[in-house]
């Protein structure tokens, strides 16, 4: 794990410490995906978040918002200190992303299965308005249980939205336990292919590979793209990796924070 | 009424490039003229209401005004969370044109009877709910819809309903229309029940029965309600909707909040699924909501 990935995770721990709660595992699997999107791919202007021609990023798995907040703060959409206030009564950052409340947040998510349909609408709007904007929708694996995702997937292909890019944070664990046991998604790439998407798969923690995969979009002209990112839930904290119990913590206290910081230092 | 609404969507789309039409697998040829004239703003999507609301919200976030049409039950029950989060939370200008409000689809059975739509949507912040009385009023409502800021639910009647609205009364969303001044009784009605309220009032000639047409159930015209109810001994609410959560509930809540609660008779559908099929009129009769039944119930209540 390089210094930047470590730094972004330390921002997440700042937020967990400040709020005393948060989705830990579901945030940490997302860090490299969000990092590469914001560092290398998205055309956005932190000082002008409403710039009409910007690319849109919808974090459809809204419970991973600390990863989004870490990147938005790092890019200057709002002060880094705001992270420490998350979930407090007057905070700029809530336990799920809220459009209009936090600069840089494009959609209010947290109820799963909404983002891809919103993304289809935004991609259609960009086409009608002849804007170069692309729309990126980041979904969780558990989220793919929702039927509304597949309604939107069929429509994205019907409309040949090659300005729409979906990404799946496939960390193989949902709230109760293994995705394979709660509701198996396999064969996942074939499913998306059969729904009309151009599909690619990548190690979702390999920054170079993510960069290369997202360097030329769309994957196929005339088709929506999807990048299935194989990740590890809780990545970077050895005691949380692959542990369903670290999906969400409603109470995070000083000893937990110290343990997280220590684990992050030795993360590979 | 539906034809008027759809014709107006086309008309509004000609006037304003932000207007879109979205249907979910409607009947063949619907809005054919619009599809030919402006295919890029005509969308016929699949049987997928949750997706349709999200997609419309995504387009509205970038400045479009989507008019969405499908059957009322599917447009409310099926996609309530999308309406709440994607449209209402963001206060986006989605227009939900709901075919077959109330008992219109009587022969098709309970899956198609929109008897709870108002109650489902009324608690959602930012949502406005309008039920016009007839096709003429629908046209005036559609004119007003273009500039309404937030989400708007438009409840359609069966079509061919008697014209009782008057152009000189005008139309503004959120502004009730007094149809007849109150005497001892005031009937507050919405949608096509206003024509039945007027007929009931005719039968109560000696008593003095007013009619207030509350086409907008939310935001409720509290001022208009209090003014119309002033002096009435009995307020009657009349709606083609469950007695729970609809117009009657809204009126009683408003009177109570204003400290002006008075004897109120809430006429609507009982708390059970309608039995049998037949016609809208048949099911209204079973529920005691036809004009002579309404007049009788009012008389009995006054005699008590």
Q: What is the DSSP string of A48-83?
A: -TT-TTSPEEEESSGGGHHHHHHHHHHHTSS-GGGG
Strand pairing class (B19-24; A198-203):
unpaired
Q: Is A155 on the interface with B (CB under 8 A)?
A: yes
Q: How confident is the model at residue B304 (pLDDT cuts 50, 70, 90)?
A: confident
| Cβ-count burial B279-301 (b if 16+ within 10 Å, e if not) | ebebbbebbebbbebbbebbeee
Q: Positive or negative, the Cα torsion across A246, A250, A256, A261? A: positive
CA–CA distance, B149 with A94 (Å, rounded to integer)? 26
CA–CA distance, B253 with B259 (Å, rounded to integer)? 10
Most distant CA pair in chain B: distance in Å?
62
If one compares A244 and B295, the residue with the highest pLDDT of the two is: B295
Whether B208 and B184 have beta carbons less than 8 Å apart is answered as: yes
- Count CB-CB contacts under 10 A for residue B74: 22
Q: Do B89 and A108 touch (CB under 8 A)?
A: yes
CA neighbor of B192 nearest in space, from B71, B283, B69, B104: B104
- Per the structure, the count of domains in chain A is 1
B47 has a pLDDT exceeding 90: yes
A69 has a pLDDT exceeding 90: yes
Which tens digit of pLDDT belongs to each residue from A100-117? 999 999 999 999 999 999
CA–CA distance, B85 with A193 (Å, rounded to integer)? 29
Q: How confident is the model at residue B155 (pLDDT cuts 50, 70, 90)?
A: very high
A176 has a pLDDT exceeding 90: yes
A60 has a pLDDT exceeding 90: yes
Residue A199's domain comprises 3-265
Q: DSSP string covering B191-212, please?
A: TTHHHHHHHHHHHTTTT-EEEE
Q: How confident is the model at residue A148 (pLDDT cuts 50, 70, 90)?
A: very high
pLDDT of residue B107: 96
pLDDT of residue A24: 93
| Cβ-count burial A140-175 (b if 16+ within 10 Å, e if not) | bbbbbbbebbbbbbbbbbebebbbbbbbbbbbbbbe
The closest CB to that of B54, out of A114, A123, A154, belongs to: A114
Domains of chain B: 2-155 (3.40.50.970), 171-303 (3.40.50.920)
Whole-angstrom Cα Rg for chain B? 19
pLDDT of residue B281: 96
Which tens digit of pLDDT belongs to each residue from B12-40? 999 999 999 999 999 999 999 999 999 99
The C-alpha of A230 sits at a distance from chain B's nearest C-alpha, in angstroms, of: 26
Q: What percent of chain A has pLDDT over 90?
A: 97
Instruction: Show Cβ contacts of residue A41 under 8 Å, excluding neighbours closer than 6 positions.
Output: A55, A136, A214, A217
B274 has a pLDDT exceeding 90: no
CA–CA distance, B42 with B40 (Å, rounded to integer)? 6
- For B292, the 3-state DSSP assignment is helix
Taking CB atoms and an 8 Å cutoff, what residues of chain B touch A99? 61, 90
ipTM: 0.96
Tell me whether residue B123 is exposed, middle or buried, using C-beta atoms within 10 angstroms of its C-beta: 0 to 12, 13 to 18, 19 or more.
exposed
Q: Which two tokens stand for residue A219?
A: 């994957």
A268 has a pLDDT exceeding 90: no
A106, closest residue in chain B (CA to CA): B61
pLDDT of residue B217: 98
To 10 degrees, the CA torsion angle through B33, B35, B41, B43?
130
The C-alpha of A114 sits at a distance from chain B's nearest C-alpha, in angstroms, of: 6
Whether A200 and A189 have beta carbons less than 8 Å apart is answered as: no
Q: Positive or negative, the Cα torsion across B14, B16, B17, B21? A: negative
CA–CA distance, B83 with B94 (Å, rounded to integer)? 9
Mutate to test the interface with B, among A151, A161, A196 (most CBs of B within 10 A): A151
Whether A92 and A20 have beta carbons less than 8 Å apart is answered as: no
In a 13 Å sphere around the CA of A207, the CA atoms on its Cβ side amount to 14
Strand pairing class (B128-130; B216-218):
antiparallel
- Count CB-CB contacts under 10 A for residue A86: 24
Q: What percent of chain B has pLDDT over 90?
A: 96
pLDDT of residue A186: 98
Q: What is the 3-state secondary structure (H, E, C) of B219-246?
A: CCCHHHHHHHHCCCCEEEEEEEEECCCC
pLDDT of residue B205: 85
Which tens digit of pLDDT belongs to each residue from A249-264? 899 999 999 999 999 9
Contact residues of B toward A, CB < 8 A? 40-41, 45-46, 48, 50-64, 81-82, 85-86, 89-90
In a 13 Å sphere around the CA of A44, the CA atoms on its Cβ side amount to 24
Q: What is the CATH number of the domain that holds A145?
A: 3.40.50.970
Q: Do A117 and B89 touch (CB under 8 A)?
A: no
Q: Do B82 and A114 touch (CB under 8 A)?
A: yes
To 10 degrees, the CA torsion angle through B182, B294, B279, B27?
20
């Amino acid at each position: 794990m390089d210094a930047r990935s470590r730094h972004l995770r330390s921002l997440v721990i700042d937020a967990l410490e400040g709020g005393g709660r948060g989705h830990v595992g579901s945030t940490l699997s997302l860090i490299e995906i969000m990092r590469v999107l914001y560092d290398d791919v998205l055309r956005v202007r932190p000082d002008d978040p409403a710039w009409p021609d910007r690319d849109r990023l919808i974090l459809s798995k809204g419970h991973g918002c600390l990863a989004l907040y870490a990147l938005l703060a790092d890019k200057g959409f709002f002060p880094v200190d705001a992270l420490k206030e998350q979930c407090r009564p007057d905070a700029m950052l809530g336990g799920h992303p809220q459009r209009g409340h936090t600069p840089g947040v494009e959609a209010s998510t947290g109820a799963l299965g909404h983002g891809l349909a919103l993304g289809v609408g935004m991609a259609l709007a960009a086409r009608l308005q002849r804007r170069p904007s692309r729309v990126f929708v980041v979904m969780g694996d558990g989220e793919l249980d929702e039927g509304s995702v597949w309604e939107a997937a069929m429509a994205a292909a019907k409309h040949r939205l090659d300005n729409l890019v979906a990404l799946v944070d496939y960390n193989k664990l949902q709230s109760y336990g293994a995705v394979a046991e709660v509701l198996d998604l396999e064969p996942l790439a074939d499913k998306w292919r059969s729904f009309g998407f151009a599909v690619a798969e990548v190690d979702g923690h390999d920054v170079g590979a993510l960069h290369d995969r997202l360097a030329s979009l769309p994957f196929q002209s005339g088709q929506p793209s999807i990048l299935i990112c194989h990740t590890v839930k809780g990545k970077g904290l050895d005691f949380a990796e692959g542990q369903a119990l670290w999906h969400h913590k409603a109470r995070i206290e000083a000893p937990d924070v110290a343990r997280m910081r220590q684990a992050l230092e030795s993360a590979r | 009424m539906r034809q008027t609404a759809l014709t107006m969507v086309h008309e509004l789309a000609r006037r304003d490039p932000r207007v879109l039409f979205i249907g979910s697998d409607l009947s063949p040829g619907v809005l054919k003229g619009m599809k030919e004239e402006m295919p890029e703003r005509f969308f016929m999507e699949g049987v997928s209401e949750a997706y349709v609301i999200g997609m419309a919200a995504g387009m509205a976030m970038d400045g479009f005004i989507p008019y969405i049409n499908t059957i009322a039950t599917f447009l409310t029950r099926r996609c309530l969370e999308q309406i709440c989060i994607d449209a209402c939370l963001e206060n986006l200008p989605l227009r939900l044109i709901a075919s077959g409000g109330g008992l219109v689809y009587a022969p098709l059975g309970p899956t198609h009877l929109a008897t709870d739509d108002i109650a489902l949507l009324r608690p959602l912040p930012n949502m406005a709910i309008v039920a016009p009385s007839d096709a003429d009023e629908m046209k005036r409502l559609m004119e007003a819809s273009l500039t309404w800021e937030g989400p708007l639910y438009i409840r359609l009647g069966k079509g061919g309903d008697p014209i009782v609205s008057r152009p000189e009364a005008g139309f503004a969303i959120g502004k009730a229309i007094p149809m007849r001044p109150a005497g001892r009784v005031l009937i507050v009605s919405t949608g096509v029940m206003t024509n039945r309220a007027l007929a009931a009032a005719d039968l109560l000639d000696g008593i003095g029965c007013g009619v207030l047409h509350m086409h907008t159930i939310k935001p409720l015209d509290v001022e208009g309600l209090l003014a119309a109810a002033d002096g009435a001994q009995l307020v009657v609410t009349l709606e083609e909707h469950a007695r729970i959560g609809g117009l009657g509930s809204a009126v009683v809540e408003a009177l109570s909040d204003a400290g002006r609660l008075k004897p109120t008779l809430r006429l609507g559908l009982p708390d059970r699924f309608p039995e049998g099929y037949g016609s809208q009129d048949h099911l209204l009769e079973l529920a005691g909501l036809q004009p002579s039944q309404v007049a009788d119930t009012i008389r009995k209540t006054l005699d008590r």
